Amino acid sequence: MKKMSNIYESAANTLGIFNSPCLTKVELRVACKGISDRDALSKPDPCVILKMQSHGQWFEVDRTEVIRTCINPVFSKLFTVDFYFEEVQRLRFEVHDISSNHNGLKEADFLGGMECTLGQIVSQRKLSKSLLKHGNTAGKSSITVIAEELSGNDDYVELSFSARKLDDKDFFSKSDPFLEIFRMNDDATQQLVHRTEVVMNNLNPAWKTFKVSVNSLCSGDQDRRLKCIVWDWDSNGKHDFIGEFSSTFKEMRGAMEGRQVGRNHSINLIILISCLQIHKMHSFLDYIMGGCQIQFTVAIDFTASNGDPRNSCSLHYIHPYQPNEYLKALVAVGEICQDYDSDKMFPAFGFGARIPPDMILVICSHLLFLPGIQGVVEAYQSCLPKLQLYGPTNIAPIIQKVAKSASEETNTKEASQYFILLILTDGVITDMADTREAIVHASHLPMSVIIVGVGNADFSDMQMLDGDDGILRSPKGEPVLRDIVQFVPFRNFKHASPAALAKSVLAEVPNQVVDYYNGKGIKPKCVSEYESSRTLAP
């Protein structure tokens, strides 16, 4: 029989872990024409869902805003995707009619879709294709996707505008104004940058503050002309023109603190800039190289549904030469995470088992504080013969334990430690309500949760924890602040290329780290600070 360490090496070699460097990031802007609802008497409320294919399955990446009552929508929300020259990245754009009462796709009418590769969009820069519905063209409807490479400037701007004494375009009430900002391109075309919300029945509106990247706003050129148009919103989609003006980002910076940024004397249009703040957008590497440590924790399911570990059919069966799915998933994710943890000591938990001699049911047991992934593997194998697999599959206590440590980290006000919890489980969890509550709480903390489903159970209910299909909410209705959960069934990667599992489950972590710290306004520690406070592992 091979030694424990050899089994660890076998799992690592089987997965062939590697990282594929991202060539560049690309922004995708979407517009549609001629889309129609099933109900000929009404116009649709369209939203575009971007999906990407991975190992034969489509996964949602992001979605645009919903535009009410519109057959020719131009969406202001853009998609940012990583472009890999060496990969065929298959994309699917789905247009849905989202009702005003629901934002979920179950209540939406599918209006049509378009499939292509990211390479096709990038090479043409502007790709227009007909929308297809069940294999046939969806009337005369079409979709256009425009690609733009992100420049090296990742800074973003917070902006807010207000207006005074707008013209009244309504007979029985005041105008319902909203503002659109367009960037003027070098080829004389214009590109929608942002569309504000509608302020109802108000001639002196103050629109909400919004964020936009400097690259999107002006392509990094502060002298580039920007066109701003004010409209009076109408429910039939035929909005009334109130007025427009042009400016530049440089002129806007000079018009801070309520000073006038735009005026059109011929139509009595006065626009004020209420807020303009430039924020440095720090990258994942900025935080890692500044000393932010990834605190990796693993939790393993020891419920009875896994089967008796002594039986070769058990998901926990220890084969002398071939690692089981638990080991493969553990090594795939942990091998990468341990490179970003200086002391390489990992908390490992087990749940759903009875522990001798009293056979007390353990909801959440701290197995050991273990040195490296190999230490976790050896502890896992040594404890299996001593446990009685039982139940239930409750993961909320695990999330709460890690969240407690993450909460203590927030007191430092520094980017020192970010927590990743890997949960390996064979079945649908039995404490869904408590888990949703725990995840909503954890979304406010420097923490991400990765759930890998092992075995052949029906994991369809688990997808709701992964915010890709909409916004996860607690039982009380509170939404998550950030999407921090990634759920993946291991069976999707049984025959996939090496490291596919690790690449899939960890792909969102860098953005989750950046979103948390940038959202809190926490800058990376400088290298000198990190070196002076750092304690190396022996």
pLDDT in tens, 442-454: 999 999 999 989 9
Q: Which residues pair with 70 in a beta bridge?
A: none
Lowest mean pLDDT among 9-23, 68-82, 140-154: 9-23
Q: Verify that 383 and 489 share a domain, yes or no.
A: yes
Tell me: pLDDT of 502 over 90: no
Q: What is the C-alpha end-to-end distance of the chain, expressed in Å?
A: 31
Q: Is residue 164 part of a domain?
A: yes
DSSP 57-104: EEEEEEE----SS-SS-B----EEEEE-TTS--EEEEEEEE--TT--S
* Whether 305 and 443 share a structural domain: yes
Q: Which of 23-27, 70-74, 263-267, 326-330 has the highest mean pLDDT?
A: 70-74
Question: 471 or 533: whose pLDDT is higher?
Answer: 471
Pair 271, 308 in one domain:
no
Average model confidence (pLDDT) across the chain: 81
Answer whether residue 460 is part of any domain. Answer: yes
Over residues 341-354, the mean pLDDT reads: 82
Residue 8 pLDDT greater than 70, yes or no: no
Total domain count for the chain? 3
Same domain, 240 and 343: no
- Domain CATH code at residue 398: 3.40.50.410
* 533 found inside a domain: no
Q: Say what the pTM is.
A: 0.63
Sequence-separated contacts (24+) of 74-77 with Cβ below 8 Å: 74/31, 74/192, 75/29, 75/30, 75/31, 75/48, 75/192, 76/180, 76/192, 76/193, 76/194, 76/195
Question: Residue 419 — very low, low, confident or very high, per pLDDT cuts 50/70/90?
Answer: very high
Six token digits for residue 394: 């409750």
Assess whether 362 and 435 both reside in one domain. Answer: yes
Give yes or no for residue 3 having a pLDDT over 50: no
CATH number at residue 166: 2.60.40.150
| Domain assignment of residue 477, yes or no | yes
pLDDT digits (tens, 9 = 90+) for 291-323: 888 888 999 999 999 999 889 899 998 888 888
**Which range marks the domain in which residue 174 is found?**
156-279
pLDDT at 267: 55
51-62 mean pLDDT: 85
Burial label for 537, CB within 10 Å (0-12, 13-18, 19+), is exposed
372 and 265 housed in the same domain: no
Residue 13 vs residue 314, higher pLDDT = 314
Better pLDDT: 364 or 81: 81
Same domain, 33 and 144: yes
What 3-state DSSP class applies to 336? helix
Which of residues 238, 259, 279 is at a domain's end? 279
Judge whether 538 lies within some domain.
no
pLDDT given for residue 371 in this prediction = 67
Q: Which residues of 202-230 are buried (b: 16+ CB within 10 A; e: fewer)?
A: ebebebeebebbbbbbbbebeebbbbbbb
pLDDT at 434: 94
Please give the Cα distance from 59 to 118 (Å, whole number): 15
Residue 532 in any domain: the answer is: no
Asked if 239 and 262 sit in the same domain, the reply is: yes
Are 177 and 221 in the same domain? yes
The predicted model gives 339-358 an average pLDDT of: 78
> Coil, strand, or helix at residue 151?
coil
User: Within this chain, do residues 303 and 259 fall inside the same structural domain, yes or no?
Assistant: no
Examine the domain organization and report whether 416 and 476 are in the same domain.
yes
Q: Which ranges constitute the DSSP H helices of 125-269?
A: 214-218, 249-253
Using the 3D structure, point to which of 116, 150, 184 is the last residue of a domain: 150
The percent of residues in the chain predicted with pLDDT above 90, rounded, is 28
Query: Is residue 172 included in any domain, yes or no?
Result: yes
Spatial distance between the Cα atoms of 156 and 150, rounded to a whole number of angstroms: 12
- Is residue 348 located within the same domain as residue 248? no
Q: Is 536 contained in some domain? A: no
Tell me which of 279, 309, 329 is where a domain ends: 279
Residue with token string 């607690």? 474
Q: Which two tokens stand for residue 485?
A: 């959960």
